[in-house]
Amino acid sequence: MKRAAFTHRWIPILLLVPQIAIIGIFFYWPAIHALRSSFYLQDPFGFGETFVGMSNYLSLFKSAAYGRAAIFTVGFTLIVTFLSLGIALLLAVKADKVLRGAKTYRTLLMWVYAVAPPVAGVMGVIMFNQSWGPLSDFFKSLGWDFVLGVHYYDTAFAMVLIAVWKQIPVNFIFFLSGLQSIPKSVREAAMIDNPSAAGRFWDVTFPLLAPTGFFLLITNITYSLFDTFGIIDTVVKGEPGNNPMTLVYKVYVDGFRGNDLGGSSAQSVILMVLVLAMTVVQFRLVERRIHYT
Amino acid sequence: MRSIYISIVRRFFRCRRNHFCVLFVGEDLTGEASMKRLSILSAAAISLMASSATAQTEITWWHAMGGALGDTVNQIATDFNASQTEYQITPVFKGTYEEALTAGIAAFRAGEQPNILQVFDAGAATVIGAKGATIPVQDLLTENGADFDINDYISGVRYFFADSDEKMIGMPFNSSSPIMYYNVNAMEAAGVEAPKTWEEFETVTAPALAEAGYIPLAQSHSPWIFVENFMSRHNLPFATNDNGYKGTDTKILANTPELKMHWSHVKDWLDAGYYAYYGAAWGDNQTPFEEGKVAIWLGSSGSFGGLAQMDLPFEFSATYLPYWEAVTTEPTQTFIGGAALFAMSGKSAEENKATAAFFEFLTSPEVQYMWHKETGYVPITTAAYEMAKADGYYDRAPAAEVGIQQLSLPAGENTKGYRMGFYVQIRDVMNREIGRILGGETSVDDGFAAIETEGNDLLAKFAQTQSQ
Amino acid sequence: MTKSTPRKRFKLSVVVDHAVLIIGSIFMIAPVLMLLQMTTMPDLINMKTGPILMIGDQLDDNFYKAMFKADGFSGANTGMRMLWNSMLLGLGFAAGKIILGMMAAYAIVYFRMRFATFAFWIIFTTLLLPLEVRILPSYEIVQRLGMLNTYQGLIIPLIASATATFFFRQYFRSIPEELVEAARIDGAGPFKFFVDILVPLSKTMIAAMFIIMFVYGWNQYLWPTMITTEENMFTLVRGIKQITQALEGTNLPEYGRANMLALIAILPPVLIVIFFQSWFVKGLTESDK
């Protein structure tokens, strides 16, 4: 803050008040409220509540369904992150290399950024329709009896595919601009040192992209955890059944659909702690990234 | 065509702030809209204008009836508004049953509840448990001078939404029961009749249908049909405390030998190709029946209206839900499913009077008969049933009578209904475990043990929310 | 021999590059083409066969239904109404976020304050927790404030995070310090400096931020699903839920109309991203969230 220039007393406070007020009312109040509710069991209509201590948390740790959702969430996050980063990196490297049609490719590969996740989910549901979905038919022709909504792993596969499709553009944009910011001199030097394209990529380009990659890793994990809600909700068609679901979707199902306010608040608090831990890691990485550049 | 769009767009933006503008847009579409739709819109427009002139009592009704069912709901509301001048009702579609219930609860907590809220069977314990949230429909009607007699209602309908003293709390509205639909052509091709018992299905019907190239059986709502109504059809207790009516310290009885016997057979049928499972979503299981792939489909009696309108490529009919002779030789009636209308508390006497007037209108034989005919839901009063019979409706559509006949079968001590809190979640648990059983991820024994354990945990949790 | 091999290999690698990019592009665009195809077909065929390689003649009919037909007694949730609501949500969210963010960032970067560090942490903790994890209590509070089914209730809680503030803070700090010095010597007060120098200087950044925030707001799903239950408040993306439910109903599912609505829901943000591509990319890669 050494660059501070003005010393007025009230102006900065006035400037900050709207932001802090909104954050106070719609961020801190709900967060504290969630913490409190997680220790109670409450009648949905608000007529009565009982203090139950840690029992909402304990029943989560005991619950096999919650465990399954947690395991699915971890697996889903890892696979979506890995695939969408990998495919986007491949496409970005190619798009950086080609001379003809570079701009067209760039547009075609990035517009999906603007598609809302539930719309992506709707497309997936049509693609995987049980009677005539083109992709179900395709898999069936390969001998894979693909049935969305019945086979747990088929449904999970569909969710992963849709989530990856939706996330490729962001990663692509970041990787491409990362590649394009590599100075020409570095590229030319590498060209002389290392005649093989693959070798050049792993020795020079990849390390230079690593900071972008670290940053994207966190972004993609957050995406898989939270922003995929719309995809999950449309794919399961409102009936959780034996379908895979993420932890955020479970907060919604138990709290909003099932009206169990205490149990769902406890789940919220667990997620908050998780995200807090992740962000500490992120801040460390961002700091390191600043040192790089 | 384009010029029409433009004129409508202009009109729309010009009158955006005006309450009537959307209705006028509707009227512009005369050419496209069906006459029915038009009559609703114009009637609504006229009555809206009338309402601003005279001092009418306005009430709102939140419901979960989408699609064609929603059109019929709107028709009933329009007819009620046209039938008198004192009251004005506005129905609002709130999404699925679960969403409607949650929206109603949230609105109640914010003090903005509607006069009438539609709550489905699984939400009954939640809404009836919250004593101050609703006015028992029986009290509402008596206080407002209507003559109410619970015996006017069909016996299977009477007590599901009543309290332990058999006082009616919610007005049964769209009452349905699971029945067995079958493809008549398929039955003929296989040379069999619709099965009366599951034994008959297993040994005679299913093999013949499979032989004839059909998938013999599918169903749309496993927890409802193969758990809840399995209990009522065989007169088995579903929960302690008189199926949960007497108190909240209830235990669910899902881990019983009869139920597990049934599901072991279902799993065997699945493996033998006699049964198909298309997931937890309703429509995914109904579609193969409509396509003629599945010969017998267990669905709601309320599905009749939709199926009848669909112009299926085969003839279909319906009959009672089969039972196991090994379990009982005297099968009983089934539970009603569907939903009831609850009068929310915290409203003025004026508005409560309007709500009572609407309930009276709704339960009149004419309206009930119309609702029954349009949708396939059962008429809730004996008078309406008699009217349908006298009109010869069942001579024309025999399958439409199955639901109400099944609800009028002999009752048992376990058939009036069940009352369990957090039941939406309990159903979700059932759906999950059934999916796992059928997918081979767990055994029938472990699956139903899990349903019972998790169900009891949820019931215990619910009991704690109720202690004040 | 030895001379022609590298040339050949070079050519081959170009072909491979293009092949990868073309496959990638098809992978991205095929689902939308499928939606479009289904909007041209009669619903009966859609229901029976799903997407096929054929163009029907129902496009304008389905467009008309999607835009002007409504479900429900009120007749309020037409495509037009939802488009309007989505537009308000996108614009309101983007504007609110940017105005508040710039104000707060200005205060943090350019003023000496006693509680500067405290304010910084109060604000930046919000970067950590997305709305989804505190969705239920947020809903309860909005309900308590009587803001269900209002535009305020829809927009303001979404603004309660500091992404824009953080972004503008980083950007302001990259502006040369001499500028403020010069302005002060010229006798410019804080207000004049902000309006006459800082805002014009940040124009591109504001535009880039606006695009990203607009798309983000437009695409919100969970929050509008919970907060709006009145049909006349539905946004297009929230309306998707209604659409999928209609497809589950017992009558003839209206695939044509539903898919058309889905296309209408993605069109405005997609067009903005395509047409303002360079701003958008700049904003995205430099904001670092």
What is the value of ipTM here, to two decimals?
0.88
Residues of A in contact with B425 (CB under 8 A): 254, 258, 260
Residues of A in contact with C248 (CB under 8 A): 237-238
In this complex, the residue of C76, C81, C246 whose CB is nearest that of residue B67 is C246
Mutate which of A7, A15, A136, A285 to test chain C, going by most C C-beta atoms within 10 A? A15
Please, which residues have CB within 8 angstroms of residue B24's CB and are 6 or more apart in sequence? B11, B15, B45
- pLDDT given for residue B27 in this prediction: 34
Mean pLDDT, range B146-154, rounded to an integer: 89
Pairing of strands A49-51, A40-42: antiparallel
CA-based nearest residue in chain C for residue A115: C266
Single pTM value for the model:
0.88
- pLDDT given for residue A9 in this prediction: 80
For residues B354 and B428, the answer to whether their CB atoms sit within 8 Å is: no
Record the tokens describing residue C77, joined without a space. 């949730």
For residues C242 and C234, the answer to whether their CB atoms sit within 8 Å is: yes
Residues of C in contact with A134 (CB under 8 A): 34, 50-51
Distance CA A264, CA A81 (A): 26
Distance CA B271, CA B274 (A): 8
Mean pLDDT, range B228-256, rounded to an integer: 94
- pLDDT given for residue C121 in this prediction: 81
Mean pLDDT, range C172-199, rounded to an integer: 87
**Do A111 and C270 lie within an 8 Å CB cutoff?**
yes
In this complex, the residue of C18, C28, C128 whose CB is nearest that of residue A109 is C28
Mean pLDDT, range C120-136, rounded to an integer: 78
In this complex, the residue of C123, C184, C191 whose CB is nearest that of residue A19 is C123
Residue window 99-118, chain C: list those with CB within 8 Å of chain A: 100-101, 103-104, 106-113, 116-117
In this complex, the residue of A12, A19, A124 whose CB is nearest that of residue C111 is A12
Mean pLDDT, range B350-372, rounded to an integer: 95
B201: number of Cβ within 10 Å? 25
- pLDDT given for residue A4 in this prediction: 57
Confidence of residue B60 (pLDDT cuts 50, 70, 90): very high
What share of chain A has pLDDT > 70, as a percent?
A: 95
For residues C103 and A19, the answer to whether their CB atoms sit within 8 Å is: yes
Residues of C in contact with A43 (CB under 8 A): none
Letter for the amino acid at B361?
F
Q: What is the CA radius of gyration of chain C?
A: 25
* pLDDT tens-digit map of C76-116: 678 899 999 999 999 999 999 999 999 999 998 888 877 77
Mean pLDDT, range C161-188, rounded to an integer: 86
- Per-residue pLDDT for C230 more than 60? yes
Please, which residues have CB within 8 angstroms of residue B300's CB and are 6 or more apart in sequence? B176, B177, B178, B179, B220, B221, B337, B338, B376
Q: At what angle do helices C135-144 and C151-159 cross, to 10 degrees?
A: 140
Whether chain B has a CB inside 8 Å of the CB on A241: the answer is yes
Distance CA B162, CA B178 (A): 21
Mean pLDDT, range B82-91, rounded to an integer: 93
Residue B111 in 3-state DSSP?
A: coil
In this complex, the residue of B435, B461, B464 whose CB is nearest that of residue A242 is B435
- pLDDT given for residue A281 in this prediction: 77
Mean pLDDT, range A116-140, rounded to an integer: 92
Mutate which of A33, A41, A43, A148 to test chain B, going by most B C-beta atoms within 10 A? A43
Q: Any alpha helices (H) in B15-87, and if so which ranges?
A: 21-28, 35-53, 67-83
CA-based nearest residue in chain A for residue C10: A197
In this complex, the residue of C68, C81, C84 whose CB is nearest that of residue B29 is C68
Lowest mean pLDDT among B70-84, B273-287, B374-388, C222-236: C222-236
Lowest mean pLDDT among A199-208, B243-252, C243-252: C243-252
- Per-residue pLDDT for B51 more than 50? no
- Per-residue pLDDT for B24 more than 60? no
Distance CA A249, CA A232 (A): 7
Residue B133 in 3-state DSSP?
A: helix
In the predicted model, what is the mean pLDDT of chain B? 86
Residue C124 or B417, more confident: B417
**Do B126 and A243 lie within an 8 Å CB cutoff?**
no
- Per-residue pLDDT for B6 more than 60? no
**Do B428 and A258 lie within an 8 Å CB cutoff?**
yes
Lowest mean pLDDT among A100-104, B155-159, B241-245: B155-159
Distance in Å, alpha carbon of C202 to nearest chain B alpha carbon: 34
Mutate which of C49, C57, C73, C227 to test chain B, going by most B C-beta atoms within 10 A? C73
- pLDDT given for residue A279 in this prediction: 76
- pLDDT given for residue B202 in this prediction: 97
Name the residue among A275, B450, C238, C122 with its Cα closest to residue A267: A275
Record the tokens describing residue A204, joined without a space. 């020079």
In this complex, the residue of A42, A243, A257 whose CB is nearest that of residue B424 is A257
- Per-residue pLDDT for C288 more than 80? no
* pLDDT tens-digit map of A204-230: 888 888 888 888 888 899 899 988 999
Residues of C in contact with B281 (CB under 8 A): 248
Residues of B in contact with A39 (CB under 8 A): none
Query: Which chains pack against A, by 3+ Cβ pairs within 8 A?
Result: B, C
**Do B465 and A63 lie within an 8 Å CB cutoff?**
no
Residues of A in contact with B468 (CB under 8 A): 47-48
Residue C88 or B71, more confident: C88
Residue window 385-424, chain B: list those with CB within 8 Å of chain A: 422, 424
- Per-residue pLDDT for B52 more than 50? no
Distance in Å, alpha carbon of B48 to nearest chain A alpha carbon: 32
Whether chain A has a CB inside 8 Å of the CB on C28: the answer is yes
- pLDDT given for residue B50 in this prediction: 46
- pLDDT given for residue B31 in this prediction: 37
**Which string of DSSP letters, residue by residue, matches B259-280?**
HHHHHHHHHHHHHHTSB----S
Distance in Å, alpha carbon of C242 to nearest chain B alpha carbon: 7
Distance in Å, alpha carbon of C250 to nearest chain A alpha carbon: 15
CA-based nearest residue in chain A for residue C19: A94
Mean pLDDT, range A148-169, rounded to an integer: 95
What share of chain C has pLDDT > 70, as a percent?
A: 89
Confidence of residue C75 (pLDDT cuts 50, 70, 90): low
Residues of A in contact with B104 (CB under 8 A): none
- Per-residue pLDDT for B25 more than 50? no
Confidence of residue B370 (pLDDT cuts 50, 70, 90): very high
Pairing of strands B337-344, B116-120: antiparallel
For the ranges A177-181, A286-290, B93-97, the maximum mean pLDDT occurs at A177-181
- pLDDT given for residue C94 in this prediction: 96
* pLDDT tens-digit map of A51-91: 999 999 999 999 999 999 999 999 999 999 999 999 999 99
Please, which residues have CB within 8 angstroms of residue B348's CB and are 6 or more apart in sequence? none
- Per-residue pLDDT for C217 more than 70? yes
What share of chain B has pLDDT > 70, as a percent?
A: 88
- pLDDT given for residue C8 in this prediction: 54
Residues of C with CB under 8 A from a CB of B: 60, 64, 67-68, 70-76, 78, 80-81, 84, 139-140, 143-144, 146, 148, 229-231, 241-242, 245-252
Whether chain A has a CB inside 8 Å of the CB on B133: the answer is yes
**Do C122 and A23 lie within an 8 Å CB cutoff?**
yes
Q: What is the 3-state secondary structure (H, E, C) of chain A?
A: CCCCCECCCCHHHHHHHHHHHHHHHHHHHHHHHHHHHCCEEECCCCCCEEECCCHHHHHHHHCHHHHHHHHHHHHHHHHHHHHHHHHHHHHHHHHHHCCCCHHHHHHHHHHHHHCCHHHHHHHHHHHCCCCCCHHHHHHHHCCCCCCCCCCHHHHHHHHHHHHHHHHHHHHHHHHHHHHHCCCHHHHHHHHHHCCCHHHHHHHHHHHHHHHHHHHHHHHHHHHHHHHCHHHHHHHCCCCCCCCCCCHHHHHHHHHHHCCCHHHHHHHHHHHHHHHHHHHHHHHHHHHHHHHHC
- pLDDT given for residue B439 in this prediction: 92
Confidence of residue C124 (pLDDT cuts 50, 70, 90): confident
Confidence of residue B49 (pLDDT cuts 50, 70, 90): very low
In the predicted model, what is the mean pLDDT of chain A? 89
For residues C155 and C94, the answer to whether their CB atoms sit within 8 Å is: no
Q: Report the largest interatomic distance among the alpha carbons of chain C, rounded to a whole angstrom.
A: 81
Mean pLDDT, range A109-125, rounded to an integer: 93
Mean pLDDT, range B269-291, rounded to an integer: 93
Confidence of residue B460 (pLDDT cuts 50, 70, 90): very high
- Per-residue pLDDT for A34 more than 70? yes
**Do C78 and B22 lie within an 8 Å CB cutoff?**
yes
Name the residue among A120, B32, B310, B350 with its Cα closest to residue C252: B310
Alpha-carbon distance values, B100 to C53, C238, C256 (Å): 40, 16, 27
**Do B425 and A254 lie within an 8 Å CB cutoff?**
yes
* pLDDT tens-digit map of C18-65: 999 999 999 999 999 999 999 999 888 888 888 888 888 888 888 888
Distance CA C44, CA C54 (A): 14
Distance in Å, alpha carbon of A150 to nearest chain C alpha carbon: 16
- pLDDT given for residue C246 in this prediction: 63
- pLDDT given for residue C284 in this prediction: 79
- Per-residue pLDDT for B214 more than 60? yes
